[in-house]
Amino acid sequence: MASDVEKSHGPTFSSLMNISSRKEHSLIRKVTASSPVELGALVIGSAVYEVFMDMPECNDLNGAMAALKRKQARLPPGRALRWMNQNLAIKQEEDKSQLMESRDMGLFLSRCPISVLSNAVFKPFLPIVRKFLLNRLFLFTNKNRLYKHLPEFPSEKQLPAVVNALGPMEQLVKNYPHLARMKHEMIFNIMDFTIKYCMDWICELLLLRCNSDGKVEYYCPPVDQKSQKRECCSEKKPKQPKKSRKSSVRKEKKIQSKADGDDSGWETQTMTNSSSSSSCNLEDLKNEPLKKVAKIEVIELNDEEEGKAEQPMQPSSSGVVASSQQKAEAQQSAPQQAPQDLASPDAQTPIPVPAYSMIHDDWSDMLTMALTDPSLPSHYKTMIHCLIASNRDMKNMIVMMRTQQS
């Protein structure tokens, strides 16, 4: 319950500014760099995923995480900024950023983060989170947190099938209290991830400022500033030999198409009234060292192809050693198998997810023995896994309490 209390407290203005300046800690970056399996563990919680990975509904969870990665890849920051400047009813001021109101923020949330999260796992949580953030964002000041508790969860009937796979909450509370606690933790983690993901979109693309009263205001950076600064920089460069009009037009089209598809330019700017003169502009932030972050591959799928791609392959989580050996064998056999790989790029077999614990402790041998016993029914294996997970949580809580007392 200590983790629930910690998560239920919303971010402060300084923490949001820290996310804006250090974007590698953003959930948007983690979605880009993580695999569907790693992303599923991040959404529902690693302890819950350790038990949930043995259930057949885990394939649906991994498919939803793969869809989340694809939808985020199709909405690069440049495209999102252009859409905002063209469609939001923002107060435009000369040589200044554009102040956003509640209606503009609602359209931004629906277009960017909520449209990316629109799948079977997050769908019941999205209208609750949108209403919750619109009520809190425009009451937010630099002296308090954004919120002190999470909003109410969806009803039992509205919960996704992935969550209800554990069973009705009333029966779990009476007969299987450990599974009831696990289901509550899963719902809590999904709600927390949804809110933080929306807030990271705000920190990534919008400008956050405080007025004289300490109230936080949100601004949309105009796209025109970037084009004007590029023109000024091009005038300072040495003159080059004149080219024909057709070649210059072709070159401009190539540069424009490359800029539209570039996903590594997550740009944003955050400042306060006291330090507005020393804050960075969008052109300076473009040169930040974001090359270390893995680029998002923009995948254009038809409706039929997207339906087939909803079930991704489950990568093995057996460890770094196995993956390194597979890479070494693949590199040795690459020259011989190169023509075959080019001929059949989709000829890959799914790697099954291992049914044993990734944590090695006093219960690992017993858990492995129970999960690998073919004569033991599957529901007994799940119960044993839940009991061991509960014992590990109790052990961690005891260690934490001892460290706090000392």
- Centroid of chain to Cα 193: 8
Q: Which of 182, 208, 227 is the last residue of a domain?
A: 227
Contacts 24+ apart (CB under 8 A), 229-235: 229/281, 229/283, 230/283
Q: Is residue 237 part of a domain?
A: no
> Is there a contact between 381 and 171 (Cβ–Cβ < 8 Å)?
no
Q: Which of 180, 196, 227 is the last residue of a domain?
A: 227
Domain range enclosing 125: 13-227
Q: Is residue 319 part of a domain?
A: no
Q: Is residue 161 part of a domain?
A: yes
Q: Is residue 68 part of a domain?
A: yes
Phi/psi at 141 (5° precision): -125, 170
Taking Cα atoms as reference points, which of 299, 335, 398, 223 lies closest to residue 66?
299
Q: Is residue 48 part of a domain?
A: yes
Q: What global pTM score does this model have?
A: 0.56
**Structural domain total, the chain:** 2
Same domain (yes/no): 372, 223 = no
Q: Is residue 371 part of a domain?
A: yes
Q: Is residue 241 part of a domain?
A: no
Q: Is residue 286 part of a domain?
A: no
pLDDT at 359: 67
> Is there a contact between 187 and 153 (Cβ–Cβ < 8 Å)?
yes
Residue for token pair 């700017």? 269
Q: Taking 60 as the threshold, does the pLDDT of residue 83 lie above it? A: yes
Q: What does each C-alpha distance from 325 to 34, 252, 318 come to in angstroms?
A: 21, 45, 12
pLDDT in tens, 244-293: 444 555 545 554 544 444 444 443 333 333 333 334 343 444 444 433 33
Bridging pattern class, strands 98-99 and 207-210: unpaired
CATH number (domain holding residue 148): 1.10.132
| Mean pLDDT for the stretch of residues 37-45 | 93
Residue ranges of E strands in 260-386: none
Q: Which amino acid is at 149?
A: H
Q: Which of 193, 227, 261 is the last residue of a domain?
A: 227
pLDDT in tens, 325-358: 554 555 554 444 434 443 444 444 444 444 444 5
